[in-house]
Structure 1
């Protein structure tokens, strides 16, 4: 059986979307005669914990650990709240940032390149060089963000004869928050140089979206393959549907992930339609930025809000299955058109209608059309969005709000692992 070393920062009991991708790949790789060995930090600073995911780790998997120095720990001495917010990826709009937030962003962006996990690179390269040689393992995978893990892969590639696959769950220099880090010109140049070295040194690049593939193909001649995120399984939906007309979003709503056209349309519908006003529930599960919450309040929607905060993955799946409509929201920018949230595929598995709001030419738009699993709208659309929500509401009142998805099998985690296995065996 072929062995492969996977270098990842996020691993159970970490919660959130970052841990799901490689936890599921590891779960199914043995079905394709590949034995995964996982390398993780011994003392990580995870912003979200979900201990239920520990149960999904396959038995007998070798997990290597080495201590990491986390500068966020020192920053918490000054402000635990601000540090946790930034480490979670939630960056307020510039006009809403206080002095401490601006300072932390400047330090994070210019002193920790490519990110705050940079101190794990050198000790990891030294440790893994010896382990790989002793155990005759000649294939490694690095997954980021954090993109410093790709520099571990780069260091190992320079020292050993091995095959290195770099998996990008998100872009690097084109990621949505990159320009918010208050980078100096020299720091920006450093990021670009490191990204270029990784893209031209790895034997194969994996992206989770087609737009990111196109971006990387303009920067490297190395092969680039899209392997999206996916769903683990589609089970019979035993959850009872909400009695109310519930619109649910699962996951963080960052400052830029703020569909004001949706809030405006919902405000109009609640003021114009008495039944709609009585039936509407807006369930926002996960971390909510102050900018988004303020927008919701400005549109008089606070009375319809349910804010359960972060919930376990199992609980999140039940909420998805019981909600009338599932909201998928992405930041409206050219940099985010290649972001395909992992929750999209779990939404598919929940078999509920998806209402997606995001940037122009968003990769998600094509997947929704291909699978007949939902409808996409841009941030500037209001009339058509309002008509669609009203149409869904009428179907809900007639107990006919359903979805008939097609062509979803290709996005199952096991099928996607099969695509990964092909790359590992080539």
Structure 2
């Protein structure tokens, strides 16, 4: 055995959210590299399951209790049974660095300390968001374990959380600095996030992207009950508004393409799968787009992966405002080996698609440019090379193992 690892993550299977895929992929393939992997996670995302990577330990979480007055919205957001409300809660504007400090930390920290006492982990990996998860790593480092702080989103960089008072902003920044100073290693999912940590906080941060699991990619069958035979189906899976994204520009682009050439527009369809807000449902259900835009509901993970694989092209919407944006969904798309249309030309997602020659890029808010990209997909979609192995979790876990060993050496040297 190479060593005993503890991964602390708020999102983990059985959650089917894309945020759960990174810790799951790391746990699965770090085990295959010879590590003993324990995963400490929240029970808020569903009942415990034996069919998950690693040795999972689920904790309580007030998010799943009756004290959470937004439980119905949480179910709508995660399961898509009804429209969810995007935006932060009142508590999220009060508690620094995030609500999980109050809802999950009281459960996860004591459990982590008990596990550390019995297991004596060689390295702890805390992966955010929420950012308060890193307080667990800070505590366990005092027990002698090396600590890797992994950021799936920027903390003080391109943050989606703007504090109402200066006191909160200063406390949040102080916590970020403390994590940067005390972690034995830091990783981030995109280079802009890692570069910011290096330049702004002096961290030796390394970029280790999200990825796809090649063992999860289904075979192509050439058809799907959710897609219209004979039409070019452009598919979007997952949530939009919860990450400050909107389908409005691509819908406006479809209208422009129709005004240019009704014949071309009639050859394509936009298909959306995943939870919606009420506004999104109204946008997708516009009368003038009937027959050209469809929402097929919220699919389970295998269903989403199958839909991606059968699509003619895949749509990735970004906020258009964050350079560091390259979510786990992009890498699922790369694994599907279908042309990807990225809306957000300055995003890290766009850079990766250009680098891998996996599709097209257009400005996020430019309906005319998006219409041209749609036209190009209809008239002759670009060829896509095989899924890049460098973005698969076997390769990513091997790189992460290098960081783990570096952190262990640093922790041993520091005494």
TM-score past 0.5 threshold: yes
> Aligned partners of 2:363, 2:315: CA distance in 1, in Å?
13
Partner residue in 1 for 2:411: none
Q: How does 1:10-409 map to 2 (within 5 A)?
A: 10-41=11-42, 44-46=43-45, 57-58=52-53, 61-70=54-63, 73-76=66-69, 80-82=71-73, 92=86, 105-111=89-95, 113-157=97-141, 159-174=142-157, 176-179=159-162, 183-233=164-214, 237-241=219-223, 242=227, 243=229, 244-254=231-241, 256-296=244-284, 300-333=288-321, 336-358=322-344, 361-395=346-380, 401=381, 403-405=383-385, 408-409=388-389
Q: How far 1:262 moved relative to its partner?
A: 2.1
> Aligned partners of 2:50, 2:309: CA distance in 1, in Å?
21
The aligned length equals: 395
Question: Aligned in 2, Cα 1:277/1:195: closer, same or farther, shift over 3 Å?
Answer: same
Q: How far 1:270 moved relative to its partner?
A: 2.5
Q: Mind listing any 5+ residue stretches in structure 2 that lack a counterpart? A: 407-415
Q: How far 1:172 moved relative to its partner?
A: 1.9
Partner residue in 1 for 2:413: none
Q: Matched residue of 2:331: which SS?
A: helix
Q: Matched residue of 1:134: which SS?
A: helix
Q: Matched residue of 1:356: which SS?
A: strand
> Aligned partners of 1:119, 1:296: CA distance in 2, in Å?
35
Partner residue in 2 for 1:100: none
Q: How far 1:387 moved relative to its partner?
A: 2.6
1:35-82 CA distance string (max 9 Å, x none): 1111123xx323xx699xx57524xx4333433333874232xx5545
RMSD: 2.9
Greater CA drift, 32-41 or 128-137: 128-137
> Aligned partners of 2:292, 2:351: CA distance in 1, in Å?
31
Partner residue in 1 for 2:409: none
Question: Aligned in 2, Cα 1:385/1:277: closer, same or farther, shift over 3 Å?
Answer: closer
Q: Matched residue of 2:210: which SS?
A: coil
Q: How far 1:305 moved relative to its partner?
A: 2.6
TM-score, structure 2 normalization: 0.85
TM-score, structure 1 normalization: 0.83
> Aligned partners of 1:330, 1:320: CA distance in 2, in Å?
18
Q: Mind listing any 5+ residue stretches in structure 1 that lack a counterpart? A: 94-103, 396-400
Partner residue in 2 for 1:414: 394
Q: How far 1:383 moved relative to its partner?
A: 3.8
Partner residue in 2 for 1:8: 9
Q: How far 1:185 moved relative to its partner?
A: 2.4
Q: How far 1:128 moved relative to its partner?
A: 2.7
> Aligned partners of 2:90, 2:77: CA distance in 1, in Å?
11
> Aligned partners of 2:241, 2:290: CA distance in 1, in Å?
18
Alignment check: 8 A CA contact 1:14 1:50 kept: no
Q: How far 1:227 moved relative to its partner?
A: 0.8
Q: How far 1:112 moved relative to its partner?
A: 5.9
> Aligned partners of 1:210, 1:73: CA distance in 2, in Å?
40
